């Protein structure tokens, strides 16, 4: 129980600094480049502090680099290929959907992930596919998951218990949604959905980390999920242009999910990466 409290404090230490940034920064929109840069700095400092604390309290006598999954370049690459492939299987439906959209909108150079971004600010892309995944996976998988295992929690509890901290860490988006003008009810529902969705990804990432022993697969899978976003189910609407592809998209969902669960254990077997350690 003490470890759960400690890990909760680590999460708080990651999020709380966002709310003590200089007032002029906090008054800016969340997507303002200056605000984003200050958040980057906050996350980096928080990560260093959390890593130092975790090492000092739990892993002083261990190989800390191995504990957090940053050992063996070859093992990291091999496990990443397998885990990213699994993530692609899981998101095969959304990938097919986006591919169909792209083919039908060849004239658009800012389609999909980039269409909702101001591409003049590359910092948004860096936040979503680099800084966010790297720091969040380091904290939640490298540190928190390792603490759970170090202190005797079972693999089952670690996989299905610790990721809720990852989900809860995203609940603070409620305040930003309210600030943007959303009603408190709408903001609460959206924040709750985000918590559930991020916790679901957390289950998968934690499973990857425990099975492979490497952090890179979790980071790359996280980046891929952020890039693809939530599954687009608009193809079920008869008025949507994608509806004519409904059968193909539906089949891709079924095939992708079947491949994911069918290959989940074989492709993450640690024996595959032992020779690379």
Query: What is the pLDDT, as a whole number, of residue 275?
Result: 57
Q: Looking at residue 12, what DSSP letter applies?
A: H
Query: What is the pLDDT, as a whole number, of residue 110?
Result: 46
DSSP of 202-214: HHHHHHHHHHH--
Length of the chain: 277
270-277: average pLDDT: 71
Q: Which residues contact 32 (CB under 8 A, 6 or more apart)?
A: none
| pLDDT one-digit tens code per residue, 252-270 | 999 999 999 999 999 999 8
CA-nearest of 90, 84, 80 to 259 is 90
Other Cβ atoms within 10 Å of 273 Cβ, number: 22
pLDDT higher than 60, residue 276: no
Q: H or E stretch including 10?
A: helix 2-15
**Which of 35, 136, 214, 222 is an active site residue?**
136
**Confidence (pTM):** 0.89
Nearest 5°: the CA angle 189, 195, 198 is 135
Residue 174 — very low, low, confident or very high, per pLDDT cuts 50/70/90? confident
Q: Is 170 noted as a catalytic residue in this protein? A: yes
Nearest 5°: the CA angle 195, 65, 1 is 45
Q: In whole numbers, what is the pLDDT of the chain averaged over residues?
A: 87
Other Cβ atoms within 10 Å of 95 Cβ, number: 17
Query: What is the pLDDT, as a whole number, of residue 204?
Result: 96
Q: Is 3 noted as a catalytic residue in this protein? A: no
pLDDT higher than 90, residue 148: yes
Q: What gap in Å lies between CA 136 and CA 250, rounded to an integer?
A: 32
| pLDDT one-digit tens code per residue, 89-140 | 999 999 999 888 878 765 444 444 445 545 446 787 888 899 999 999 999 9
Long-range own/partner contacts, residues 247-250 (CB < 8 A, 24 or more apart): 248/96, 248/100, 249/93, 249/96, 249/97, 249/100, 250/93
Residue 18 — very low, low, confident or very high, per pLDDT cuts 50/70/90? confident
**Which of 35, 137, 170, 222 is an active site residue?**
170
Q: What gap in Å lies between CA 35 and CA 117, rounded to an integer?
A: 16
DSSP of 103-157: HHTTT-TT-GGGGGS-TT-THHHHIIIIIHHHHHHIIIIIIIIHHHHHTT--HHH
Query: What is the pLDDT, as a whole number, of residue 121?
Result: 60
CA-nearest of 185, 48, 43, 64 to 126 is 43
């Amino acid at each position: 129980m003490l470890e759960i409290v400690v890990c909760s404090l680590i999460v708080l230490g990651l999020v709380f600094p966002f709310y003590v940034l200089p007032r002029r920064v906090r008054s800016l929109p969340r997507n303002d480049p200056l605000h984003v840069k200050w958040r980057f700095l906050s996350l980096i400092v928080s990560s260093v502090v959390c890593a130092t604390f975790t090492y000092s309290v739990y892993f002083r006598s261990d190989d800390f680099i191995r504990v957090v999954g940053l050992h063996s370049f070859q093992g990291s690459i091999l496990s990443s290929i397998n885990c990213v492939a699994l993530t692609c299987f899981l998101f095969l439906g959304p990938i097919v959907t986006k591919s169909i959209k792209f083919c039908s909108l060849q004239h658009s150079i800012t389609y999909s992930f980039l269409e909702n971004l101001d591409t003049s600010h590359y910092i948004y892309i860096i936040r979503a596919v680099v800084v966010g995944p790297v720091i969040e996976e380091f904290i939640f998988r490298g540190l928190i998951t390792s603490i759970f295992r170090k202190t005797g929690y079972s693999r089952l509890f670690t996989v299905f218990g610790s990721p809720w901290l990852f989900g809860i860490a995203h609940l603070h988006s409620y305040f930003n949604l309210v600030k943007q003008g959303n009603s408190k009810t709408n903001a609460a529902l959206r924040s709750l959905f985000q918590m559930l969705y991020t916790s679901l990804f957390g289950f998968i990432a934690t499973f990857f980390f425990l099975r492979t022993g490497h952090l890179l697969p979790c980071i790359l899978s996280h980046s891929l999920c952020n890039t693809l976003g939530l599954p687009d189910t608009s193809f079920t609407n008869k008025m949507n242009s994608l509806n004519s592809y409904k059968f193909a998209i539906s089949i891709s969902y079924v095939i992708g999910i079947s491949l994911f669960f069918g290959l989940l254990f074989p492709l993450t077997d640690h024996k595959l990466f032992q020779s690379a350690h």
